Amino acid sequence: MSKTDGRSARWTEHRRSRREDLVGAALTALRTAGPDFSVDDVARAAGVSKTVIYRYFSDKDELIDAVLERISAEVLLPRLLGELALERADDRARLHAVIAAFVRLIEEEPALYRFAYAQAGRTGRADLVAATENQVAQALGMLMAERLAAAGRPTGAAMTWAYGVVGMVQLTAHWWSGSRTVPAAELAEQLADLAHGGLAALLPPLPD
């Protein structure tokens, strides 16, 4: 590699690393200042001037996109898909674990949740809510299809059920995040009952 190529590679890595640091500062600002955090809040969290931030992000929208990607990759998907990947005693236990993880996330990271939901449907920009719902529904649907196939049943209902469950949980949890009419544990139980009721209608129980 030439000296020029080496300097270019080092600069590319430096820029990537610096952007990651600034995204981390933006998450800190989000958690402390709330979903309407400003670039000034990010600058204070990072200990730099706004000018430095704009060296690495063209505008606040680009920074928001990077924050949404971080929330998805490091907060939302690892928790939810991680629960789906674990073996459980039965179908209801697996459903309950994923739903409970999502409800806990709303309790533990309220600012991140409100921020992500507020960005839903941004025209021409990243939509974290839709992307996360889609990945979770696809994973849930594939598990459902495997169960149906193993039981000798048609698999056509798998994705219908999966997307229906994810949509139900998302909308109900969003309503609950503002109303808190029932305790979090009770909400998870209620949603698991609803989801499993639909699943039980399609599948025989797992063998002992």
Following DSSP, what letter does each residue of 83-135 receive, concatenated?
HHHS--SSHHHHHHHHHHHHHHHHHH-HHHHHHHHHTTT-TTS--HHHHHHHH
Percent of the chain with pLDDT over 90: 56
Looking at residue 36, what DSSP letter applies?
T
pLDDT attached to residue 46: 94
pLDDT attached to residue 10: 78
What's the average model confidence in pLDDT over 134-160?
Answer: 90
**CATH 1.10.357.10-classified regions of the chain:** 68-202
Match domain 1-57 to its CATH number in 2.60.40, 1.25.10, 1.10.10, 2.60.120: 1.10.10
**CATH 1.10.10-classified regions of the chain:** 1-57
pLDDT attached to residue 3: 59
Looking at residue 28, what DSSP letter applies?
H
Lowest average pLDDT, out of 4-18, 72-86, 158-172, goes to: 4-18
In this prediction the pTM is 0.83
CATH of domain 68-202: 1.10.357.10
Element of type H or E holding 2: none
| Ranges 13-17, 120-124, 176-180, most confident | 176-180
Q: Would you say 76 and 90 are in contact if contact means Cβ atoms under 8 Å apart?
A: no
Q: What does the alpha-carbon distance between residue 71 and residue 77 come to, in Å, rounded to a whole number?
A: 8
Read off φ and ψ for residue 68, nearest 5 degrees: -60, -40
Provide the CA 130 distance to its chain's centre, in angstroms.
9
